[in-house]
Chains A and B, each alone.
Chain A
Amino acid sequence: MDSSARTIVQKAPEGFLGPELIVSIQKGGIDPDRRRLIRGAFSAALGAMAGSAMGATGNPSDGDAEILNLPPWSTLLGKPVVFKPYGDPSIYETSLARRQSPGLTSVAQASVSFAPLQGLFGIITPSGLHFERHHQGWVDVDPSRHRLMINGLVGRPRVYTMDDLMRLPSVSRIHFIECGANSAMEWANVAVPTVQYTHGMISCSEFTGVPLSVLLDDAKIDRSRAKFVLAEGADGSSMTRTIPMERALDDAFVAYGMNGEMLRPENGYPLRLVVPGVQGVSWVKWLRRIEVGDQPYGAKDEVAHYVDLMPDGRLRQYTSIQEAKSVITTPSGGQKLVGQGFCNVTGLAWSGRGTIKRVDVSFDGGRNWKAARLESPQLPKALTRFNCDWTWDGSPCLLQSRAMDDTGFVQPSYRMLREVRGTRSIYHNNAIQTWRVDRSGEVSNVQL
């Protein structure tokens, strides 16, 4: 393919002053330092104009102005250490942010914000972009006043402070957390334009904390009668969820750490439950209490919500496991390819039952498939990043990805999933996502 087929347009030299400099001038006025920078920027811009005057097309005939003229950051002294004691992303990184889906909910404290999967790399979600789901707003809990209680069918009911919990044996593990309602809006038809809104209720972090089994042992649970635990939050909603004992004693833990720092308040600071492979609503935030019992608790979000409506009118309760699922994140809905030729296709796969073993990618709507490369690490109940080489020749295509986990489970098509569960289930939609690429390179959300 020759370069004339590229649709990408050469960028005109940007404004003379970079956004960073403009912000700094707005904040601090013009001082000798900034005056020097402005002078530098002006002469660079003049140089660029002189360059473009040389070529009839407006391009400098002897090269790229970005190379021929040194940018300001190459010619100045940078900022000192601890200028930002707790750092932020670059000022150029403003487009990827958590966003709400208009009309989904009426009030912002019982709502969702979606993670911008369309531009994230690897498997770890930056903590500030982790999706949010709150039922009664979020709170910032004072860790010195936070307590965790264990009661119910135990030999000795316990109370732990954060001091106590952080002294106990800890584990650090990478796991995804997906809201049971991820992709809910898409059950019956296409409803939203981008992967942020179709799949953005998932995030993946390294969590650190104490195995629940350690705490249950310490409280001397009655192993013959204990069948379930109830987890309860300390916030206004005091959210409760039932966890079966086999999950509680397996890989569940109470986490305080997330990606090397403490949990963010929106994610339950200073303590949340981690139940790997299970939908996010069970990962109770601001965790204050674990009760051990012999029956499920029938909490509001087990009986009135997070119930899956089947075609026969029955509601499935306690649907918890997030089955294998995958999605291509680039290119994805609402994006446009910059040109024909090579383009790496990348995406995410995960399974609540185990480890992703294989991801296949189709470019023709599922007729033929090609194995994608799985990047490392490939961990149980964690996101797995996949990549696949692709050369776009300008013709329309239908992109899909299909995940398979180590139980042999293969991600179903919409048709197959709807045959069993209909279209009104709201929760646990793990169908194969299709992205259509049209001749202009524009990508959109479609269903087959």
Chain B
Amino acid sequence: MKHIALLCLLGLLATTSSVVRADYAGVGRSATDAEIRAWDIDVRPDFVGLPAGQGSVSEGEALWSARCASCHGDFGDANHVFTPLIGNTTADDIRTGRVASLKAGGSYRTTFTKVSSISTLWDYINRAMPWDRPKSLSPNEVYAALAYLLHLADIVPADFVLSDKTMANVQARLPNRNGMTQEHGLWKVGGKADTRAKPCMQDCLHGDVVITSALPDHARGSHGDLAKQNRSFGAVRGVELAMGAETASPATAPVATGLGTKRTGPDVTPMLSSNGCLGCHAIDAKLLGPSFKDVAAKYADRKDATAYLASKIRGGSSGVWGVVPMPPFAQLPDETMKAITEWIAGGAAQ
């Protein structure tokens, strides 16, 4: 009983960083060293957490072409999947540690224009890249990939070897290493605000009210038919915008609706969804991969369409629709594969 009372008390005080401590008997256990090693992968700006290892620019180049270039481009400057990693930094920036284009404006903010700590990129590539196969790189591969990126950014020469020993040298040449500040009022709850508006109630403006910006007429339909994004009853209606064929664009169509009902054969929606296909494909819009309608149209006349599609899905595909490849889905059960390929070959009806 006493124990329970203490727990309740702690519950009450829990948010006030109370020093009262209950012994949560039987709850949780100690982590083992092996467990901590397996999960504690972060690398700090002072390089705490950085594993020993190394990788050269040339090793990185090979790895980059095989595992990274499809999304980021051969030179890290592509923007079809994500904003460019490389570009808009100069030799002068490397000298001063401030990227001048950030102040001047007008040019693209690439990763290297912003990053102030090299550990950040090592840590991130190690935990999250390649995007479709995160945590598949060895430490040496992470060093190599980063070495190649640094070379693309003109920070290190072609014969450079990046390692736990040379990371600090690279830090001293990062183009925007001095370009950040943590002096502002938005870090702490009690921080000082940088605007100080007054709650004036009457005659608060001098001069006329001027509209400085409004949506141009040609952009009115940019987000679809707004009538369909509001209820058809209540205090207001959505503005009706006559939409062309793009009305059904999945960008503004509800994100998670089913694929509809006019269809024969089994409902493939759950299969496409649970196997992750809908992350890269939509029925009638291009995402990372082609729309299923476009795939259906391309192979409409092909007699062995289902077999062809199955081999492509099973083994992966590249070069048919663009620069981004599709990873292999070898583990897809046969009946799922059959249902999906027959559905595509049959026209990918909604």
Contacts of A307 in B (CB 8 A): 114, 180
Chain B residue at minimum C-beta to C-beta distance from A430: B195
Using an 8 Å CB-CB cutoff, how does the interface string of A302-331 with B read, 1 for contact, 0 for none?
111101111111111111110100000011
Contact with A along B112-130 (1 / 0, CB 8 A): 0011110111011001100
Binds B, one of A32-40, A71-79, A156-164: A156-164
Contact indicator B214/A95 (Cβ below 8 Å): no
A375 at the interface (CB under 8 A from B): no
Contact A109 B28 (CB under 8 A): no
Q: Which among A109, A249, A353 is the interface contact of B189 at CB below 8 angstroms?
A: A353
A75 to B29, CA, bound (A): 61
A146 at the interface (CB under 8 A from B): no
B185 to chain A, nearest CB (A): 8
Tell me whether A335 and B176 are in contact in the complex, defined as CB-CB below 8 angstroms, given that A238-B127, A420-B195 are known contacts: no
Q: A394: CB under 8 A from chain B? A: no
Is A336 an interface residue, CB under 8 A from the partner? yes
Taking A95-B228, A232-B42 as contacts, is the C-beta distance between A109 and B82 under 8 angstroms? no
Q: Is B263 an interface position by the 8 A CB rule? A: no
Contact of B229 among A116, A247, A277, A343 (CB under 8 A): A116
Return chain A residues, CB-CB under 8 Å to B232.
Answer: 95
Say whether B80 contacts A106, CB under 8 Å.
Answer: yes
Does B222 touch A at the CB level, under 8 Å? yes
A415 CA to B44 CA, complexed, in Å: 38
A444 and B44 in contact, given A113-B255, A238-B134, A314-B181 (Cβ under 8 angstroms): no
Q: Which residues of the partner chain B approach A297 to less than 8 Å between Cβ atoms?
A: 42, 44-45
Contact residues, B193-220 vs A (CB, 8 A): 193-205, 209-215, 219-220
Of B97-105, B294-302, B311-319, the one with at least 4 CB within 8 A of chain A: B97-105
Q: Which residue of chain B lies nearest to A191 when distances are taken between CB atoms in the complex?
A: B215
Q: Which residue from A158, A353, A366, A412 sits with its C-beta under 8 Å from B209?
A: A366
Contact A136–B134 (Cβ < 8 Å): yes
- Count how many pairs of residues, one from A and one from B, have CB atoms less than 8 Å apart in the complex: 365
Contact A97 B254, CB 8 Å, known A298-B45, A316-B186, A448-B209? yes
Q: B102–A313 contact, CB under 8 A?
A: yes
Q: Considering the complex, give the chain A residue whose CB is closest to the CB of B219.
A: A193
- CB A140 to nearest CB in B, in angstroms, measures 9
CA distance A360 to B204 in the complex (A): 13
Chain A residue at minimum C-beta to C-beta distance from B197: A410
Cα(A93)–Cα(B79), bound, Å: 37
Q: Which residues of A contact B239 (CB under 8 A)?
A: 334-336, 442-443
Q: A367 with B203: in contact, given A136-B128, A416-B195 (CB under 8 Å)?
A: yes
B31 at the interface (CB under 8 A from A): yes
B100, A313: Cβ atoms closer than 8 Å: yes
* Interchain CB contact under 8 A, B238 and A95: yes
**With the chains together, A116 CA to B252 CA distance in Å?**
12
Across the interface, do A160 and B102 meet the contact criterion of CB distance under 8 Å? no
8 A Cβ contacts from A92-125 to B: 93-103, 106-110, 113, 116, 118-119
| 16 CB < 8 A contacts A-B | A100-B251, A102-B222, A102-B252, A106-B81, A108-B280, A118-B230, A132-B255, A169-B7, A171-B11, A240-B127, A250-B189, A304-B124, A313-B102, A314-B181, A315-B176, A368-B203
Q: What 16 additional pairs, Cβ within 8 angstroms, besides A97-B255, A171-B11, A313-B103?
A: A106-B79, A106-B80, A135-B128, A136-B131, A189-B212, A193-B222, A194-B229, A249-B17, A298-B44, A298-B119, A303-B115, A336-B239, A338-B235, A365-B205, A443-B236, A444-B215
- 9 closest A-B pairs by beta carbon, nearest first, are A313-B103, A97-B254, A169-B11, A365-B209, A157-B31, A334-B226, A102-B251, A249-B17, A300-B124
